[in-house]
Amino acid sequence: MTKSRFEKISDFFNSHERLFFLLRIIYNYLPLAVMVSYPALLIYLFVSGNKADFIKALVVPAVTFAAATLFRAVINSQRPYEKLGIKPLIQKNTVGKSFPSRHSASVFIIAMAFLHTNVYLGAAMFAVGFLIILSRVLAGVHYEKDVLAGLCFSVLLGIFGFYII
C-alpha cells in the first residue's frame, strides 16, 4: 500500500456512500459474528460428546491467538496510517502491532476449527475471513502483508493442530 494508492481508495469510498457504509458494516460487525459463532461451535462440540474435537477447537485457536499476539508485539511494525501519514477510513488509534494482523489470524484459525468440524461451515467462515481482511486493508489499518501473514500463520498452525496432531 502506498499513500497515493490509499488516497485513491479513500476517494472512491468517500464518493460512494453506500459502499462506504458496507465497508464499515463488514469491518465492524463481521468480526463480531465470528466472535459469536466460535463459542457456538465450542458448545456444539461439547454437547455432541466429541471430547477430542472440543479440546482441539479450544486449544489450537488459543495457542494461535497467543502466538500471533506475542509475535506482533515483538515485531511491532507500524500501521499504514502511522507510516504513510494517512487518515484511515475507519478510525483506529493503535500504535504499532500491525504484523501479523490479529483479526486475520483469529478469523482464519476459527475458520480452520469450523473446517475441521464441517467443510461447508469452514468454507463459509473462510469467505467471511476474506471479507474481514479485505476491509482491514481497504480501511487503511493494515498492509496486505499483515493480513496475509495472519492468514498463513493460522492455516499452517491449523493444519498442524487439527490434522497432524
Model confidence over 120-138: pLDDT tens digits?
Answer: 999 999 999 999 999 999 9
Give the separation between CA 124 and CA 114, rounded to whole angstroms: 9
Residue segments in the chain with a per-residue pLDDT below the cut of 50: none
pTM for the structure as a whole: 0.95
Give the separation between CA 102 and CA 146, rounded to whole angstroms: 9
Please answer whether residues 2 and 81 qualify as being in contact, where contact means their C-beta atoms are separated by less than 8 angstroms: no
* Whole-number percent of the chain with pLDDT over 70: 100
Give the separation between CA 1 and CA 4, rounded to whole angstroms: 8
Give the separation between CA 65 and CA 110, rounded to whole angstroms: 10
Cell numbers representing residue 129 in the block: 475471513
Helix (H) or strand (E) holding 80: helix 80-83
